[in-house]
Structure 1
Amino acid sequence: MNCNYCKSTKLEYLLSDTNSTYTYCSNCKKNFDLAHKHIAIDALLKKLLNILNTSNERSLKIEVTQENGSILLIINNIRVFKTDFKYDFLKKDVYYLENIISELVQDSYKFNLSKVDIIVSE
């Protein structure tokens, strides 16, 4: 496989916590930031899924925010996950996270979505 931009064959493949594979060119660094951004988001979502599967709470306040070069997952006002995140957080990222978090909550049948607040900050 070749890079679409510099035609190099030096591609790096990263496996995320959710077993997704992200690729970037190690020669020209095309998609480097995007791949690492998705790795961090996947790690956050994996942590959230683990919490949803083990939580006994009836209501949840799920917050995703950025702070000092990190992305944070805060559940019921308790910081449960933090990782480096030095990337732009775009409106489409907010939309994606709000929707995927909502779907994860809905898939966990023990939660009533009306008792779950989802807040994703740019």
Structure 2
Amino acid sequence: MTCNYCKSTTIKYLLSDTNSTYTYCGDCNNDIYRAHKYIAIDSILKRILNNLKTLNEKNLKIEVKKENGFISLLINDIKVFETDFKYEFIKRDIYHLENIIHELVEDYYKFDLSKVDIIVC
């Protein structure tokens, strides 16, 4: 691989909690912001998946909040995960995260989707 910005071949690889690989340039740090942002988002998704496997409640509220340099995951108003997040959430990120969470919940037949709230802000 070659960096599109500086043409370096020093590419760094990061592996997320969901086993996704993200890359950035080791010389100019091109895409380092994006890589670390999506590593944090993957951590949230992994925690959601783990919790969906064990929840027995009929109603489900999943909330992802970004505040004060952190991103938090709340499930049924209980904080289950928090990590550093000094990145901007753009509309595309919010849309992407809401859709993936919806698909994860949809995969678990035990949840009535009419009783599921997904909030990403």
TM-score band (shorter)? over 0.9
Q: Report % sequence identity.
A: 67
- Paired with 1:2 and 1:95, the residues of 2 have a C-alpha distance of 30
The letter for the 2-side match of 1:8 is: S
Q: Write out the 4+ residue segments of structure 1 that deviate beyond 2 Å after TM superposition.
A: none
Aligned to 1:66: 66
Deviation at 1:18, TM superposition (A): 0.4
> What are the superposed Cα offsets for residues 61-98 of structure 1, whole Å, 9 maximum, x if unpaired?
11001111010101111100100100010011110111
Aligned to 1:31: 31
- Paired with 1:95 and 1:85, the residues of 2 have a C-alpha distance of 18
Deviation at 1:53, TM superposition (A): 0.8
Aligned to 1:102: 102
1:75 pairs with 2:80: no
TM-score normalised over the length of structure 1:
0.97
- Paired with 1:34 and 1:89, the residues of 2 have a C-alpha distance of 11
Aligned to 1:42: 42
TM-score normalised over the length of structure 2:
0.98
Deviation at 1:25, TM superposition (A): 0.2
Q: Which runs of 5+ in 2 are unaligned?
A: none
Deviation at 1:26, TM superposition (A): 1.2
Deviation at 1:44, TM superposition (A): 0.4
Deviation at 1:49, TM superposition (A): 0.3
RMSD between superposed Cα atoms in Å: 0.6
- Paired with 2:108 and 2:36, the residues of 1 have a C-alpha distance of 28
Paired residue total: 121
3-state secondary structure, aligned to 1:18: coil
The letter for the 1-side match of 2:84 is: D
Aligned to 1:55: 55
Deviation at 1:57, TM superposition (A): 1.0
Deviation at 1:5, TM superposition (A): 1.1
